[in-house]
Structure 1
Amino acid sequence: MNPGIIYLVGTSGHPNFGDEFIAAAWLKYLAVARPEAEVWLDSPQPGMAQVLFDGMHPRLRVTNTLWRLVHENAELPADAAAKNIRERVAGLGTPAYDLGLLKAREAESLHLIGGGYVNDTWPHHAGLVVAMRAVSEVSGARLFATGQGLMPALQPAAGETPLFRGFDYARARDDASAAAHGLELGLDDAFLGAEAEISRGAAAPGLYVCIQSDMVDPGRFSAAVALAREEVVRAAGEGIEAHYVEAIPGFDRAAYDQLADLIPEERFIPFVHVWTHGLPLSDRQTWVTSRFHLHLLAAAAGARGIAVGMKQGYYDVKHQSVTALGSGWPLALDEERPGLPARPGPLAANLAALAARKRAEAATLYPPAPGGPAPASSTAAKLLMRARSGVSRKARG
């Protein structure tokens, strides 16, 4: 085990704004707290991840070692897949994996960063946790999981149980995920970078729309587009310009094409622009979006909006975790067409405290190097001590 290697595991590189934003938030934090560390990011699309995160940490390396293991065993029954993964990690024996697995064994910690990708929608992703635990059993590395969205819950047969057995620290981002796996409730990892993103650039006032076409229940796409159209027409009648934001290239274009008669191409904001210049965020905006992290960040900036649920048991849980924090946004499900709220919720006013909680968690897992940054405030210091005292006893099973 090498105290200079930090190993992150996340579903980065598609690109998908939310997943990329979370990985970037951790890399930027580590660039300040642990600039001397070699940071390895294990992602399913390492080539694109290398481009997206270029320069965010001075010693970033990108691989797909654990993800390849998971994908290679994805079609097998869960117990057979877990057995194969454990044996490959522990026994080595093939040049297709050995160098990557040996590098993982050198890490001081392996960290499953946040997102909603280990659940019954993709049950084979439980193999990531199996692989991390298998590495730790060989090397003694510490195991972390933060900001986990675990709904719909994995069936008991979908891997080793309890899911985070042996982890030194594990937190869920929503109540249902915490209850399903006996974890303590934490915050989505996006709160680690939310304040910086909100202050990143100026945003024009207006209505902002993003409706996805992927991972939707039958009939939801057309209903969501109809809701968005209604709000765009209402805004136009009030002299308010509408803009369209792309969070996942392609999948978010389909709805725009159906709204292009109302929103001109020059007000279509592609993913590349969002990633390069920042998500347009302001408290002078209104939003209609199905994308979870657009809901979280826009509400944190003080914008009013409507969150659109697209897949029951998955996206509704995500959005409800933000409404529980005070976004003030109604959630549109089925054929519901709630109106925009009259005023923002308290999330924006509470953002500084929420961000301090998230930084305290990060400092618990990765204490700054000697001479590095101190906690941002006395509140953050208290939160840090509290977080250190509560290191996931439940996760150890």
Structure 2
Amino acid sequence: MNSGIIYLVGTSGHPNFGDEFIAAAWLKHLAAARPDADVWLDCPQPGMAQVLFEGLHPRLRITNTLWRLVHDTADLPADAAAKTIRERITNFGTPAYDLGILKLREAESLHLIGGGYVNGTWPHHAGLVEGMRAVSEATGARLYATGQGLMPALPAADTQPPLFGGFHYVRARDEPSAAAHGLERGLDDAFLGIAGEIGRNNAPAGLYVCIQSDLADPGRFQAAVDIARTQVDLAGRRGVKAYYVEAIPGVDHAAYERLADRIPESRFIPFSRVWTNGLPLSAQQTWVTSRFHLHLLAAAAGARGIAVGVKKDYYDVKHESVAALGSGWTLALGDESPAMPEQPGALAANLPALLEQKRTEAQTLYPALSGQGGALTAGAAKLLNKTLAVSLKNKIRSGAR
């Protein structure tokens, strides 16, 4: 028997390796645990997401209902945006959204999957949480949030009532995020997919570089490139080959252009190859990267590296959270002249326990169904939506708005 809709909310489709990796990890888990369920992913770029996640779950559908609501109210004050989003979800009467909202209200659960996109950098994204809460209040759907990076913190006025008030399960991925919102600390959602990524391809030994040009504080992009150049030159003098990995197409190419005199095009690994063949990971590598999830996955595989911060109070918090887990990497968050660590950290050795912690969380949120258990909320929501749909159709026939 089919369960009700499992509704995931994330920031997929850009594409951005970290965001896509997290969404893919949840979809793969649900394909094993809940292949019977209709799974909907609400994300900003559903077209590209459809290409990226094709075949990862047998009943996957992709939309952007909540994200459209958030983007269309982004210029409003926070309280006015929240009120508009809530009214559209609760009262209908907006034909551009109504059919998507009807589907949204069939969900048995709504899950804000991990990432660092609900915070003071993009304060309007708090509307995602407000929209999820409005659905739950209307239908009884359960609300989850996992692996949340919430720094820099939202303005205090935007978190009244508490940001995750009414949610049934919430975990932050770093200590500052947990402390800012009174949450329990958990793990980044990437841990759900790490076991399947390590060893996915035969990655050669060498120095791997990925430096972003987006979201960088003044001067930090060039500083990161300079750190990478120094390490590439040191590696070259030891006869070690350097490779460049692209996590966001185009955005990460700017740094490669400044390093192309040191790293030949044959050793440039584009996002498309990373996504298709797997992130090159092995314990025989060193890394220089500003990308949080490359730091996390490479350290989990046993690689040594330097994590370069490019934005205070945002990327610094991310990299510090991986260091706290035992990555053993050198953090270059300011004006340091960092050295490559001589030994790997403890993260790789501790990985089995961390993976088990994340698997337990996923199994708690999405236990395998037995018989007809678990479908009551979805059934009630469908019955409610039938009534609402009839009312909505009558409005449309009569020309009401």
Global fold match (TM > 0.5): yes
Give the corresponding residue for 1:207: 207
Q: Answer yes or no: is 1:72 the counterpart of 2:72.
A: yes
**Counterpart residue identity of residue 118, structure 2:** V
Q: Write the deviation string for residues 84-117 of structure 1: whole angstroms up to 9, x where unpaired.
A: 0100000011221111111111010000000000
Report the number of matched residues. 370
Q: Write the deviation string for residues 339-389 of structure 1: whole angstroms up to 9, x where unpaired.
A: 011100000001111010000000000002349xxxxxxxxxxxxxxxxxx
Give the corresponding residue for 1:277: 277
Q: Write the deviation string for residues 61-92 of structure 1: whole angstroms up to 9, x where unpaired.
A: 00000000000000000000000010000001
1:199, distance to aligned residue in structure 2 (A): 2.4
State the distance in 2 between where 1:245 and 1:335 align.
24
1:5-20 map, 5 Å: 5-20=5-20
1:336, distance to aligned residue in structure 2 (A): 1.1
Q: Is the 8 A contact 1:127 1:159 kept in 2?
A: no
Give the corresponding residue for 1:179: 179
Identity over aligned residues, as a percent? Answer: 75
Output the TM-score relative to the length of structure 2. 0.91
Q: Answer yes or no: is 1:233 the counterpart of 2:243.
A: no
Q: Write the deviation string for residues 42-72 of structure 1: whole angstroms up to 9, x where unpaired.
A: 0000000001000000000000000000000
1:98-247 map, 5 Å: 98-247=98-247
**3-state DSSP class of the match of 1:61?**
strand
**Counterpart residue identity of residue 263, structure 2:** I
State the distance in 2 between where 1:78 and 1:98 align.
22
Q: Is the 8 A contact 1:3 1:107 kept in 2?
A: no
1:202, distance to aligned residue in structure 2 (A): 1.1
Give the corresponding residue for 2:303: 303
State the distance in 1 between where 2:159 and 2:295 align.
32
**Counterpart residue identity of residue 59, structure 1:** R
State the distance in 2 between where 1:218 and 1:104 align.
41
Q: Is the 8 A contact 2:25 2:192 kept in 1?
A: yes
Q: Is the 8 A contact 2:206 2:242 kept in 1?
A: yes
Q: Is the 8 A contact 1:79 1:159 kept in 2?
A: no
Give the corresponding residue for 1:377: none
Structure 2 portions without partners, runs of 5+ = 372-401
**Counterpart residue identity of residue 346, structure 1:** A
Q: Answer yes or no: is 1:23 the counterpart of 2:19.
A: no
Q: Write the deviation string for residues 249-270 of structure 1: whole angstroms up to 9, x where unpaired.
A: 1110000000000000000000
State the distance in 2 between where 1:144 and 1:122 align.
20
Q: Is the 8 A contact 2:3 2:36 kept in 1?
A: no
Q: Is the 8 A contact 2:199 2:282 kept in 1?
A: no
**Counterpart residue identity of residue 343, structure 2:** R
Give the corresponding residue for 1:51: 51
Give the corresponding residue for 2:257: 257
Structure 1 portions without partners, runs of 5+ = 372-397
Larger Rg: 2
Give the corresponding residue for 2:376: none
State the distance in 1 between where 2:169 and 2:26 align.
16
1:3, distance to aligned residue in structure 2 (A): 3.7
1:160, distance to aligned residue in structure 2 (A): 4.1
1:161, distance to aligned residue in structure 2 (A): 2.2
Output the TM-score relative to the length of structure 1. 0.92
**3-state DSSP class of the match of 2:349?**
helix
Q: Write the deviation string for residues 307-362 of structure 1: whole angstroms up to 9, x where unpaired.
A: 00000000000000000000000110222121011100000001111010000000
**Counterpart residue identity of residue 32, structure 1:** A
Give the corresponding residue for 1:388: none
1:343-358 map, 5 Å: 343-358=343-358
Give the corresponding residue for 2:89: 89
Q: Write the deviation string for residues 222-276 of structure 1: whole angstroms up to 9, x where unpaired.
A: 1110000000000000000000000001110000000000000000000000000
State the distance in 1 between where 2:326 and 2:290 align.
17
Q: Which runs of 4+ in 1 moved over 3 A?
A: none
Q: Is the 8 A contact 1:4 1:36 kept in 2?
A: no
State the distance in 1 between where 2:312 and 2:215 align.
10
State the distance in 1 between where 2:282 and 2:349 align.
14
State the distance in 2 between where 1:333 and 1:283 align.
24
**3-state DSSP class of the match of 1:111?**
strand
Q: Is the 8 A contact 2:3 2:38 kept in 1?
A: no
1:284-323 map, 5 Å: 284-323=284-323
Q: Write the deviation string for residues 276-313 of structure 1: whole angstroms up to 9, x where unpaired.
A: 00000000000000000000000000000000000000
Q: Is the 8 A contact 1:212 1:255 kept in 2?
A: yes
**3-state DSSP class of the match of 1:158?**
helix
State the distance in 1 between where 2:68 and 2:348 align.
40
State the distance in 2 between where 1:370 and 1:198 align.
32
Q: Write the deviation string for residues 139-186 of structure 1: whole angstroms up to 9, x where unpaired.
A: 100000000000000012225420000000000000000000000000
Q: Is the 8 A contact 2:289 2:307 kept in 1?
A: yes
Q: Is the 8 A contact 2:10 2:23 kept in 1?
A: yes
